[in-house]
Amino acid sequence: MTNASPESGPAAEAQPVLSVRGGALRVRDRVLWSGLDLDVRAGEFIAVLGGNGTGKTSLLRAMLGERRLDEGTVLVDGHAAHRGHRRIGYIPQQKIAAPGTPLRGRDLVALGVNGTRWGPPISTRADRQRVDALLEAVGAQAFADRPLGSLSGGEQQRLRVAQSLADDPTLLLCDEPLMSLDLNHQRAVSELIDARRREHGTAVVFVTHDINPVLGMVDRVLYLAQGRFTVGRPDEVLRDDVLSRLYGTPVEVFRSRGRVIVVGVPETEHHHEVIA
Ligand SMILES: Nc1ncnc2c1ncn2[C@@H]1O[C@H](COP(=O)(O)OP(=O)(O)OP(=O)(O)O)[C@@H](O)[C@H]1O
């Protein structure tokens, strides 16, 4: 484990929005990661990278208070992570609504806006305007009044992004939010998330298999592999020597036309960001 980026400077003085100390998670007898220290400050954009099963979603679930760490603590806004935190926006890993789901896209976003996630929403004119603004931001007006179950995976994903931003989150947890999106919408959604953190200081933790669509936005990378991790700026982490040490085998990192390509990741890691 390494921490390539020492936390210093003025931003380091403010209380982090999210703080993990000594975090460890095990599944059966396998250590997903241990000794994890991570502070995420207002407006920071952290990408979480790693192969299938390295514990990325489990880490988000710990931040949501849905899963207990085996060791260590997770604080959100200075308090122990707990379920139902109003100021956490969450984009879950792709979940396609069942074909018969009658809820409309607009209703899904409205649930985020008026905060009544349970029970019938009472919508005001301001709420409706906010829903319209969010639908416009993700380019979803054209299908907002259709039942969710009739929408494509990418259309549903854009609505989930809109919903996650609705409640003015201080922390946005994104689990592969670009999955199923074509390139135009990958760009639109990642720019929307980036704008959110720049304009409102929302801290972003963004799980992804492919760093490239967000490479220019990311402040730091948390890279999970082989029960270990490394944290640092993309140029500090996405390097031959750092990733070879992390994987315990020679790994090469190439840069081509602004994209990063990682080659040599062990088969067992099932990586997708590798374009070889
Ligand atoms: N509730 C659970 N019970 C048992 N095993 C679990 C549970 N949740 C997760 N796991 C296991 O923990 C490991 C980490 O899962 P997790 O979903 O966090 O990985 P991930 O890095 O998000 O993977 P992917 O990239 O495939 O989404 C996996 O091997 C998974 O099967």
Local confidence pLDDT in tens for the 276 residues of the chain = 555 444 444 444 578 999 999 999 999 888 999 999 999 999 999 999 998 899 999 999 999 999 999 999 999 998 888 887 778 999 988 666 777 888 888 888 888 776 654 455 557 888 888 899 999 988 899 999 999 989 888 888 889 989 998 888 999 999 999 887 888 888 888 998 999 899 999 999 999 989 999 999 999 999 999 899 999 999 999 999 999 999 999 999 999 888 999 988 887 655 444 332
User: Would 236 be classed as within a structural domain?
Assistant: yes
**209: domain range?**
18-95+169-263
Report the predicted TM-score, pTM, of the whole model to 2 decimal places. 0.87
Sequence-distant (6+) residues with CB within 8 A of 17 are 40, 41, 42, 44, 76, 77, 170, 171, 203
164 is a domain residue? no
- Is there an atom of ligand 1 within 6 Å of 92 CB? no
C-beta of 268 in contact with ligand 1 (< 6 A)? no
161 domain residue, yes or no: no
In a domain? residue 78:
yes
Domain assignment of residue 149, yes or no: no
Cα 56 to middle of ligand 1, angstroms: 8
Cα–Cα distance, 51 to 44 (Å, whole number):
23
Residue 52 CB less than 6 A away from ligand 1: yes
For ligand 1, say whether the CB of 53 is within 6 Å of any of its atoms. yes
Q: How far does residue 246's CA lie from ligand 1's centre (Å)?
A: 20
| CA 143 to ligand 1 center in whole angstroms | 33
| 176: its two tokens | 């592969």
Is the Cβ atom of 227 under 6 angstroms away from ligand 1? no
Nearest-angstrom CA–CA distance, 116 and 118: 5
Task: Give residue 276's pLDDT.
Answer: 28
User: How many Å apart are CA 203 and CA 183, to the nearest integer?
Assistant: 24
Which CATH number is 179's domain given?
A: 3.40.50.300
ipTM of the complex: 0.95
In a domain, 207, yes or no: yes
Query: How far is 12 from 35, CA to CA, in rounded Å?
Result: 20
- Cα–Cα distance list, 177 to 4, 181, 189 (Å): 26, 9, 8
- The partner residues of 147 in beta bridges, in order of sequence, read 104
Label the pairing between strands 171-175 and 203-207: parallel
Q: Read off the DSSP letter of residue 40.
A: E
Q: Whose CA is nearest to atom 3 of ligand 1?
A: 27
Are residues 63 and 82 in contact, defined by beta-carbon separation less than 8 angstroms? no
DSSP 8-class letter at 213 = G
Residue 152 counted as domain residue = no
Is 124 contained in some domain? no
Which of these, 142, 116, 274, lies nearest to 209 by C-alpha position? 274
Amino acid at 47: A
**Which atom of ligand 1 lies at the shortest distance from residue 55's CA?**
18
Q: Give the per-residue pLDDT at 48.
A: 97
- Dihedral over alpha carbons 76, 78, 84, 90 (to 10 degrees): -20
* CA–CA dist 131, 112 (Å, integer): 9
Ligand 1 pocket check for 190: Cβ under 6 Å:
no
**Which residues, 6+ apart, have CB-to-CB distance to 223 below 8 Å?**
48, 49, 50, 229, 230, 231, 237, 243, 246
54 CB near ligand 1 (under 6 Å): yes
- Of ligand 1's atoms, which has the minimum distance to the CA of residue 58? 18
Pocket test for ligand 1, best of 30, 56, 210, 265 (most atoms within 8 A of CB): 56
Residue among 58, 66, 224, 268 whose CB has most ligand 1 atoms within 8 A, to mutate: 58
Given a contact cutoff of 8 angstroms between Cβ atoms, the answer to whether 62 and 25 are in contact is: yes
Q: Exposure of 13 by Cβ count < 10 A (0-12 exposed, 13-18 middle, 19+ buried)?
A: exposed
Atom 16 of ligand 1 has which residue's CA nearest to it?
Answer: 55
Q: How many domains does the chain divide into? A: 1
